[in-house]
Amino acid sequence: MGIKLSFILMLLLASISLQSKNKGSKSESEEAASAQASIGRAEIISFAKKLMGTPYHYASSNPEKGFDCSGFVNYVFKKFKINLPRSSKGFGILGDGLKPEEFKVGDVLVFYGFKDKTRIGHVGIICEAAGMNSRFIHSSSGRSHGVIISDLGSEMYTRRFYKCVDVID
């Protein structure tokens, strides 16, 4: 009787231990979904704005050196555990395009290139949502040569606009 009772007690303790372990741990996909749900769009923009003035540096996602456009977007979202393409071309196949009235702060704008209007060449993050009059933060290789805020409604960006994607929801 003593051995049987010890065995039952041992099984009971093992069962309780396993239940408490399972309650406290989430699967990786549950953790990722939970992390994304708790991300504030304003928080993403606040972090991105801290990088204003960082110089443009081709093929870089390193704030110490500088950023190219996709390196900047990748770096900002990586901070919030959202993995995005590292090249602007990769953003061209990412998600479905939104209608201008659906644009939100934190959405990613995708543009054709400056010289080649048939290939994706630039990306940025909406920091003030107002449809095609939104403002966005990005790392520009243009005159300002670094992380700046620009108007989507300017001729330069309106004519190059490809799509806007929600990478948070």
CATH number at residue 50: 3.90.1720.10
User: CA–CA separation, 16 vs 25, rounded Å?
Assistant: 15
Question: Do 11 and 69 have their domain in common?
Answer: no
| The pTM of the whole model exceeds 0.85 | no
User: CA–CA separation, 64 vs 52, rounded Å?
Assistant: 13
Question: Do 28 and 106 have their domain in common?
Answer: no
- Of 53, 81, 69, nearest to 144 by C-alpha is 53
Question: Do 49 and 130 have their domain in common?
Answer: yes
pLDDT reading at 118 higher than 80: yes
Query: How many domains are contained in the chain?
Result: 2
pLDDT reading at 76 higher than 80: yes
Question: Do 148 and 66 have their domain in common?
Answer: yes
Q: Name the more confident of 164 and 169.
A: 164
Task: Determine the structural domain holding residue 109 and report its residue range.
Answer: 40-165
Mean pLDDT, range 78-85, rounded to an integer = 97
- Of 106, 129, 103, 109, nearest to 49 by C-alpha is 106
Question: Do 64 and 9 have their domain in common?
Answer: no
Question: Do 23 and 45 have their domain in common?
Answer: no
Question: Do 88 and 20 have their domain in common?
Answer: no
